[in-house]
Amino acid sequence: MKKILVITLFAIACTSLATAQDPFQRPSPGPERAKLSFLPGEYTTESRLMPGPMSGEGSVGTGTESISYGVDSMFLFLDDQSVNPAFGKYRARGVLGYDPRNSSYFLNMYNNFGDAPSYKGTMNGDTLVLTTKVEFQGGSFDQKLVWYKDGKSLRLKIYNDMGEGSTLVIDQTSTPIPAEGKK
């Protein structure tokens, strides 16, 4: 009887060890990353800068945007290039992902003006909403990015709050580049 009990306990222990999750197992991208699946692609962009202190009378810029999966599909990499009358040439790179420890999305951007904002946020339905505090010499302001699919295009709206309420400053439409037009 003792022998059967020892064998049974040994079998249960081995089964438990075999089915236990490996603590060093690499995570999979998960459902949160899947919610970002509307973003990857190659796009032409049209960015409307609204009239204001930073953009004067407002203007329209054009450019390209590439959003692709990277690092075993755990992140999205962004590459933006555009030209507009208010700011001239603009280039930016970014990393977008989901942080399961904080249950939030993040975006770290780096541009040719030397800015490096870090955003955090959530999905509201099928809309990605990210926020940050932008620091500059002499002050700061809150910034919100609202990103969503609009038909076949992407829309990105950027709002700044200088302490008097949120104001739309950039309204960007990203249109997919047809397969025959890609490099």
Give pLDDT, residue 161.
95
- pLDDT for 23 equals 64
Residue 20 scores a pLDDT above 60: no
In this structure, is residue 55 part of a structural domain?
Answer: yes
pLDDT (tens digit, 9 = 90+) per residue, 30-72?
899 999 999 999 999 999 999 987 777 889 999 999 999 999 8
Residue 17 lies in a domain: no
167 assigned to some structural domain: yes
Q: What is the DSSP letter of 165?
A: -
Q: Is 46 a member of any domain?
A: yes
Does residue 66 sit within a domain?
yes
Measure the CA angle with vertex 41, ends 65 and 124; round to 5°. 90
Residue 131's CATH number:
2.40.128.20
Q: Dmax over Cα atoms in the chain, in whole Å?
A: 90
The domain tally of the chain equals: 1
Q: DSSP string of 2-51? A: HHHHHHHHHHHHHHHHHHSPPTTPPPP-HHHHHTTTTS-EEEEEEEEEPS
Domain presence at residue 106: yes
Q: What is the pLDDT of residues 94-140, one digit of tens each?
A: 999 999 999 999 999 999 999 999 999 999 999 999 999 998 888 99
Give the domain range for residue 103: 29-175
Choose among 60, 66, 76, 68: nearest CA to 44: 66
- Give the per-residue pLDDT at 136: 84
CA atoms within 13 A on the CB side of 68: 8
- According to the model, what pLDDT value does residue 93 have? 98
The answer to whether residue 3 sits within a structural domain is: no
Asked, for residue 8, whether it belongs to a domain, the answer is: no
Burial of 172 (0-12, 13-18, 19+ CB in 10 A): buried
